[in-house]
Amino acid sequence: MAGPVLNAPVESASRAVEAEVLAPQARVLPLHEKLVFRVKWLGLTAGELVSEIKGIEDLNGRKAYRIEVTARTLGFTSTIYRIDDHYVSHLDVETLVTLRHEVHRREGSYKKDAVIDFDQVAHKAYFKSQTDGTSKVIDIPPETHDTVTAAYVARLLPLTPGKFFEMKVLNSEKVYDLFVAVPEKAQRAIASRPRAPYLTIKPYAKTSGQEVREGSLSGFVTDDAHRDPVLVVIKAPVFTSLVAQLMSVAREQPP
């Protein structure tokens, strides 16, 4: 449960879906929203993931959504490998691109604190490690996101079965081409939720033209205006399989 996952391709069959690059729909995110997920590993409750929109802030003269994601292990899992990660992103309200991304990771003995400022005009990302003081400048394509903002912007896309959408994402100081495939609409029941139609989501990533093949990710989102991610399945070589299930939703829509 190491926080937002980017390097997760799906089966090559997803490439059969016609690729399109589309702008987000003309609507906005909630002013406040809190999504709480229960994470299971090998069928046991392993941790909790909380993803929140905490209103709108001013950042260097731009109005931006403040989005925070926390991921932590619980109970017995913490005694095996303790995780306590925290991510903060600022997403431009008008353009829906990333302005800043903060990383605060605590995973076993590993520690990382860093801030990345995105200059979407000059197409540069300025990385600064608060752990060891190192810094670097990274060239980025237009409309680059971080992994947190990419997930939220994807919910604003006109998701339709038989389509997929391309996004540029900066993760671990490397730019990825992220493809969000929508293969089908599935009629199914998810835990305590009534049987309902959900959209199947299967993202995969490429870097330098090569598909990333370390694990896989798939999930289901509600087939409504909110596109709530109700179930996410992550398969990785190390952790075998992680399942994140949406347990509660609280939101305040903008006027």
pLDDT cut 90: percent of the chain above it: 61
Top-confidence residue, 235 or 143: 143
Q: Is 88 exposed, middle or buried (0-12, 13-18, 19+ CB in 10 A)?
A: middle
pLDDT band at 3 (very low <50, low <70, confident <90, very high): very low
143 token code pair:
């409309």
> Mean pLDDT lowest for which of 85-94, 108-117, 165-174, 231-240?
231-240
Give the residue among 92, 173, 83 at the shortest CA–CA distance from 125.
173
Judge whether residue 53 has pLDDT over 60: yes
More confident residue, 199 or 24: 199
Mean pLDDT score of the chain: 86
**Cβ atoms 190, 231 nearer than 8 A:** yes
151-200 per-position pLDDT tens digit: 999 999 888 898 889 999 999 899 999 999 999 888 877 876 778 889 99
Q: How many residues are given for the chain? A: 255
pLDDT for the residue numbered 237: 64
- Mean pLDDT, range 52-65, rounded to an integer: 96
Contacts of 37 (CB under 8 A, 6+ apart): 48, 49, 50, 51, 232, 244, 245, 246, 247
Task: Check: CB of residue 126 under 8 Å from CB of residue 148.
Answer: no
> Which of 89, 75, 66 shows the shortest CA–CA distance to 38?
75
Using 50, 70 and 90 to split pLDDT, how confident is the model at 7? very low
Band (217; pLDDT cuts 50, 70, 90): confident
Residue with more model confidence, 50 or 206:
50
pLDDT tens string 100-154: 999 999 999 999 999 999 999 999 999 999 999 999 999 999 999 999 999 999 9
What pLDDT is recorded for position 14? 34
Other Cβ atoms within 10 Å of 59 Cβ, number: 15
